Amino acid sequence: MSTTTLTPAPTGTTGGPAPATKLHDEGGIGLRNNLRHIGALVRRNLLQIKKDPESMFDALLMPVIFVLLFVYVFGGSVGGSMGGGRQEYLNYLIPGLMAMMGMNIAMAVGSGVNDDFRKGVMDRFRTMPIARSSVLIAKIVVELGRMMVATFILLGMGFALGLELHGSVLGLIGAIALSAAFGAAIMWIFILLGLAMKTPQAVQGMGMLVMMPLQFGSSIFAPPTTMPGWLQSFTDYNPLSNLADAARGLMMGTPLGHSVWLTLGWAAVITAAVAPLAVSKFRKKS
């Protein structure tokens, strides 16, 4: 990564303070250098995970716990109401949990950004001749990698318990890609929370307030047809419901409707609205 040498400015004959030195010109950074900087920051974040392997515990263990908990606690009753049993519920649940992985992993992004600021790491990055967005994009790239690890463990658990893939392999790949695209968009929201909140604990607390209604007020865990009317209305507009329904349609070969395009639309709108705010907040945060 390129470095900047700062030369003290002359004070002049008046003895007044030296003018402020401009550390870098972000607008002059080209695409090639931007990609190189992102790659270097991704490597730095991966080395952090290597030094602290416990940071992977959520991605490694969370899919196992959720599958076992929901399949064996709720699978009999919810699966029975769907006209089957645990097997029927397993086929319903796994695509829904894929939609949930992105949100759970995204919360760690906000906490990590907040913690880096508190440790002074981000102040160091802001004095370097790199684009502000490259620091945040590198965070998202690494977290997407963690999300993919969690997703593959989730699918492995599902197939081990008897998950039946009624759609095509391309449909499964499409469901994974769609979950990753939406997960990346959600990460911008949690990055903004991480920049706005004062402590990692505050980020986690606010994140839970955002996550709980969206996750449980959706079609992830149970069909909305059994919910009261007002909750069904919320579920219809919940982007996690669209993602869960799209993943089920792609994996199980059921009708997709507009769920895929709605999910992509949500991802595009969230990214376009929140990413510039997060970069601006990162630039101005003291």
pLDDT by 10-residue block (mean), the chain, 286 residues: 41 40 49 82 88 85 91 85 84 91 84 82 74 86 93 94 89 94 93 89 87 90 88 91 93 88 95 93 79
Domains in the chain, number: 1
Query: How many angstroms separate the CA atoms of 164 and 187, rounded?
Result: 30
**∠ at Cα 115 (37, 209), nearest 5°?**
115
Burial of 69 (0-12, 13-18, 19+ CB in 10 A): exposed
Give the pLDDT score at 17. 40
157 inside domain: yes
Residue 192 lies in a domain: yes
Whether 11 maps to a domain, the answer reads no
Give the structural domain span for 240: 31-44+53-284
In a domain, 2, yes or no: no
Name the residue among 179, 195, 221, 208 with its Cα closest to residue 107: 208
Grouping H, G, I as helix, E, B as strand and the rest as coil, residue 10 is: coil
Q: What's the confidence (pLDDT) of residue 25?
A: 44
Whether 141 is in a domain gets the answer yes
Residue 175 inside a domain? The answer is yes
What is the biggest distance separating any 2 CA atoms in the chain, rounded to whole angstroms?
88
In a domain, 8, yes or no: no
Given the structure tokens 């009708």, which residue do they identify? 255
How buried is 145 (Cβ within 10 angstroms: 0-12 exposed, 13-18 middle, 19+ buried)?
middle
pLDDT for 239: 93
Query: 3-class SS at 266?
Result: helix
15 found inside a domain: no
